[in-house]
Structure 1
Amino acid sequence: MNLTRWTQKARGLVSGRVARAATVVAVALAGAWLGISLAGPVRAVVGPVEAGMSAELSLTGETVVDAHPLGTLKFDTHDAPIRLRATLQNINTERIKALLDDPRLADRLPEVLEQELSDGVGRLILRVILCGLAGGLIGCLIVFRRPRAALAGLLSAVVMIAGIGTATIVTYRPDAVVEPEYTGLLAGAPSLVGDAESIVTKFETYRGQLAKLVNNVSQLYDTVSALPVYDADPTAIRVLHVSDIHLNLIAWNLIRSITAQFKIDVIVDTGDITDHGTGPEDNFVKEIGNFGVPYVFVRGNHDSKATQRAVARQKGAIVLDGTSKTVAGLRIYGLGDPRFTPDKSVAVDSDLESLAALGREHGARLTQAAEPIDLVAVHDPTIAKGFSGSVPMVLTGHSHARSTEMLPSGTRVLVQGSTGGAGLRALEHDEPTPVTASVLYFDRETRRLRAWDDITLGGLGEQSVQIQRHLENDPGRTISPEPTISPSPTGSTAGTATP
């Protein structure tokens, strides 16, 4: 009986201690979080920029550069639960002039920026540690009013901060600086982090990109009324990929703006420029002749043969349907969609295997072509995958959702969303369909894709814009046929657009 009583007392004592320890840890972590949140920014001078640097606990680890009022740049630099934020507070115009006028100072800019940035980050880390520890210690003192509990809380805060710091170091990705996500007005400055030459050939040089970032942000502030594209690369071939305009006039405004801002060499439209392919809709395509650059078009399942002929009549238009042509230095092959879904009197074969077989048939022809094809344009992603192993790059659309996939053969398939926001179909869903387009950068000598910018505008009733930059990891990869021909996967996006 006594043994049972002592056992119950021991269990109660242990459970009580565990509960008290858990409470101490919870209070300490809450106090550390509050201390970090109240720490405030550290003022840092980085080149001509005066910035406030701060840290805050967050579910997603990232680095945010707030260039108010121009917008923000987000970098996926780490996976730890802490967000690093740099807010540009002031620009030293005298130092800007010194950087622009003195070549020797400009050459030393990367080293200067590294040192000044390191100093600022070091002071931020020290402040975060001190404020976090102080928060955990003070929180436990206030709640428990005992030195032992306060010391336990301090130890808990040490463990938390050390864990976050270790996770940040382990998951740190310095290359993320070359793949920023732009929001706000900065979306109008696509070359803010490096010019096209840097994107294509120098993106591994972190220090140079850092210098370019600070220097160009400085110039943006100095001339805030205009957001120019800096140092346009004269050798890169710039391709604008649009698709599924569906009679939306906003697409023409977007295409006109991107063509001028990004110095586009050729526009590639992967179909569904109209909705029903009727004669009255042909007037819509007349805007094509005003862009001043070649407009390559392949027919979509909403475009009739009459639509195709109307496009072909426009100045600068190049219609490809089982044919190829060299445009702006790229050999492009195009194939119109075999279906015309608005015409209900005509049988429509939307069987996925039939579409895939069509793509494989034309892909096999390209492998035997006398002149290699650099780029293929089709409307349906299932047909696009049939070209696997025959070309390095295929552009497609139809699904109204942007995606990209590197096939086992080395062929990249880029599925564009809807440059017209799906037209009137945008009213059929709770959320509006975004307006999308992409700028692709091709090396003029190898004619291989090196990088691309995905441009996204908010859909109907929304006002937002962002640009996401991507780099091609292995632009010189070997393209070879896949070992076996397998049917198109059942999860294909083909057919998801309204027929």
Structure 2
Amino acid sequence: MASLGGMSEPTPPDRPGRRRTAVRWLARVALTVAGALLGVVLLGRVEAPLGPFDATFALTPSGGGATVEIPPLGALDVDAFDGPLGLDVQLTRVDEARVRALVADPRRIDGLVDQVSADLQDAVVRLVWVSAAAAVGGAALTSLLVLRRRREPLLAAGLSVVLLAGTAGLGAATWRPEALSSPTYTGLLVNATSLIGDARDAVARFDAYRASLEDLVGNVSTLYATISSLPAPARADDTVALLHVSDLHLNPAGFDLVRQVVAQFDVDGVLDTGDITDWGSEPENQLVASIGELGVPYVFIRGNHDSAITAGLVAAQPGATVLDDSATTVAGLTVVGARDPRFTPDQDATGGTESLEQTGEDLAEVAEDQPEPPAIAMVHDPEQAPPLDGVVPLVLAGHTHEREVDQLDGGTLLMVQGSTGGAGLRALQGEYPEPLTCTVLYLAPGTGELVAYDDITLGGLGETEVTIVRSVAPGAAAAGGAGGDTGDGTGAGTPASPTE
């Protein structure tokens, strides 16, 4: 049979050998994937600026998409692409120098979006190269440690390059730019759209105001010139000057205004009736540190947007005092204050808290227990003021973003400040921008009687008007307690050199 036709039987395939080869390659691929992921997780991250923020960029095994984390506020997720890896961006802090530069030079705002885009592109390119190197290195090292053959690291490196190329190709093929306009919010950021409105709306309004922003910033210097030439009360050396601010809402321009008024008016202290931030969060607290640079006593009470963390940071600043059903002394005058019992960013935290009226009653008891009658009581919401009527001569408040002066039935004067920060981001919500406001109070030493006050108003975003109004306190004109411009006794004084 063997000689028929000179033909021989075919050799059967070596199926066990092929099976071993397939298992070996599967093991190589598995080790490559595991090593590459390990390298990316451990080393695939970079730190870079992102506009006014410092941020950490990383690739994570999250099934595609991008996440921007803003601790502790929450995060926003964008389902922009598919793949085994996702982009994770974590904002670590606000760079105060970059924020101030942005506010000081409105021309930078025109290029802010381009700057953020360029920063993002540079960071992502760096991240891709770093992560690719980490993936190749991790795959090669894992293969060498497990398989212990010289050629295995080279094979693993080659396989990891193929896998990386496939991942990049999948991301490019599934890229969905329209997803950028509809992110998903988590954490406290769920409330962001209801707080500041639709983002596209805000951008549109900002574009409308931006044309005159340069005039506004230039006019700030005119404001300071006006401040320096404003006549002080006749008994300037014998009065106590205190600056009342409220609702700064994290506006760097508001902080700058406070700094300049403190210097130009040579005030003896600052009284802040709350809402220095918007969310009371850690990233927002960077600007709060500038309080310690004012060089005068700073008395603060928590508003409904301020957290205990914010209050603690304020209290840690040189010369600062946080009042919470307590009292302090500023330039020889006793001041009492109570916080707003609510914390708006966390609605769950408001359950079971005191009512506004109750906090006013508690503060009235604190005032009556002082060895020296208080000259001023500080509350955040005007609804806390009625129980203090007749107990203290002057109550300062904020919250409403509307400046108002009223004499209560018991003779107490209630002075509600507008927003020294122009309501922060809320300035972009309404048809008209909020002005930046603050008031310098002149009080008689010893008695603490209000003699006169200067209402300072700086036009909001897109406005260029600045006014300083000198008013004589009710009852002070008859006593001859102040010089300079005189009002009608109701807080409607005469503008001092308005500029346009």
Instruction: Tell me the TM-score normalized by structure 1.
Output: 0.49
Larger Rg: 2
